[in-house]
């Protein structure tokens, strides 16, 4: 059974668990799945032109030029080998290739934060300004509070005006402790104070915000390096996780950001925000292919509960067929 048929069987009319993915990926689905459908209707048999148009659809969905070309080349080889000329069958084979590409690129796929056996677990959060970093931190904090974890926040973005205040507001709403420092102060010293607090108060999860000044990559590298060293010195193994927040509406700029941040700090996961606001849902495949780091969470709306654990099957279903069963 191909993946296309598998997804249809897995997420049929009776399964409501993918509704959020289907709704959140509606714009992307209209841009991608509808173009695939229209393309297959215009051809009785695939030819060179068909594959060129198919490649263009992938690129326009922000799957990325290199990955799109590679997917089409693999698809061409497979189609010739198996003698397949039916456009719909070709499209289904392409979906299989997309799944394999994501599943086999880079780090093993995992979602939930892995907590340390002893002491606080430290999550370092990075990302440029304006991608929804502060809101994502709040959503992650709320998620793990619901799981019964004792969560605290550390306002390490001491340079952006209002960043500390925004995080304070969220801490008050979530009723969780927060450690802050002086404006334009040393972020590493704030991280140090946070680590001390976490150890003294039996914190399960310490989430550290950082400055998003990617334009000064050298300074950012030094800053993050210092934070990492301070955290590791105070809490064994810290930071245990490092998440990069990317705004899904930025398209290939998000991929560029991911590459740049991976150069300056070790990343264990990506959080994609605002996926409900973009028509280019292929960015998830592109990021995974380009930097080998898995998407751990996906933002499919503005509510606190709209930050979902990333599920490749649900994502592909939402991107390809979403509401066709309704």
Q: How confident is the model at residue 326 (pLDDT cuts 50, 70, 90)?
A: very low
| CA–CA gap between residue 131 and residue 127 (Å, rounded) | 7
| Entry pTM | 0.91
With both helix axes pointing from N to C terminus, report the angle between 26-42 and 87-103 in degrees, rounded to the nearest 10: 140
Q: What is the pLDDT of residue 156?
A: 94
CA torsion through residues 9, 12, 17, 21, sign: positive
Average pLDDT over every residue of 145-168: 93
Q: What are the tens digits of pLDDT across the range 187-215?
A: 999 999 999 999 999 999 999 999 877 66
Q: What is the pLDDT of residue 14?
A: 52
Q: What are the tens digits of pLDDT across the range 82-119?
A: 999 999 999 989 888 888 888 887 666 678 898 999 99
Q: How confident is the model at residue 58 (pLDDT cuts 50, 70, 90)?
A: very high
Burial 120-152 (b: 16+ CB within 10 A, else e): bbbbbbbbbeebbbbbbbbbbbbbbbeeeebbb
Phi and psi torsions of 115, nearest 5°:
-80, 145
Classified as helix, coil or strand, 135 is helix
Q: What are the tens digits of pLDDT across the range 271-296?
A: 999 999 888 888 888 988 889 899 99
Q: What is the pLDDT of residue 43?
A: 94
Average pLDDT over every residue of 303-310: 89
Average pLDDT over every residue of 73-78: 94
**Does the pLDDT at position 16 exceed 70?**
no
Instruction: DSSP for 157-192, please give it.
Output: --SSTTHHHHHHHHHHHHT--EE---TT--HHHHHH
Q: What is the pLDDT of residue 109?
A: 64
């Amino acid at each position: 059974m191909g993946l296309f048929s598998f997804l249809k069987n897995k997420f049929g009319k009776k399964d409501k668990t993918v509704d959020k993915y289907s709704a959140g990926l509606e714009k992307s689905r209209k841009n991608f799945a509808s173009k695939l459908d229209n393309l297959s209707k215009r051809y009785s048999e695939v030819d060179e032109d068909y594959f060129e148009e198919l490649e263009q659809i992938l690129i326009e969905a922000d799957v990325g030029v290199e990955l799109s070309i590679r997917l089409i080349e693999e698809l061409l080889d497979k189609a010739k080998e198996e003698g397949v000329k039916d456009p719909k069958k070709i499209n289904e084979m392409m979906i299989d290739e997309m799944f394999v590409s994501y599943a086999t690129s880079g780090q093993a796929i995992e979602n939930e934060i892995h907590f340390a056996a002893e002491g606080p677990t430290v999550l370092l959060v990075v990302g440029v300004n304006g991608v929804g970093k502060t809101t994502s931190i709040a959503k992650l904090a709320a998620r793990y509070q619901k799981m019964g974890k004792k969560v605290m926040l550390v306002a390490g973005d001491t340079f952006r005006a209002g960043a500390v205040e925004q995080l304070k507001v969220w801490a008050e709403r979530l009723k969780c402790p927060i450690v802050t420092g002086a404006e334009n102060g040393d972020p590493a010293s704030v991280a140090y104070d946070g680590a001390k607090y976490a150890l003294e108060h039996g914190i399960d999860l310490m989430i550290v915000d950082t400055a998003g000044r990617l334009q000064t990559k050298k300074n950012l590298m030094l800053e993050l390096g210092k934070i990492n060293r301070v955290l590791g010195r105070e809490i064994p193994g810290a930071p245990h996780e490092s998440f990069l927040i990317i705004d899904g509406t930025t398209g290939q700029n998000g991929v560029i950001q991911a590459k740049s941040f991976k150069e300056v700090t070790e990343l264990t996961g990506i959080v994609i925000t605002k996926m409900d606001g973009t028509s280019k849902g292929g960015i998830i495949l592109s990021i995974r292919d380009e930097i080998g780091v898995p998407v751990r969470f996906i933002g499919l709306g503005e509510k606190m509960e709209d930050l979902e654990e990333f599920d490749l099957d649900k994502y592909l279903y939402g991107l390809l067929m979403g509401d066709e069963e309704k």
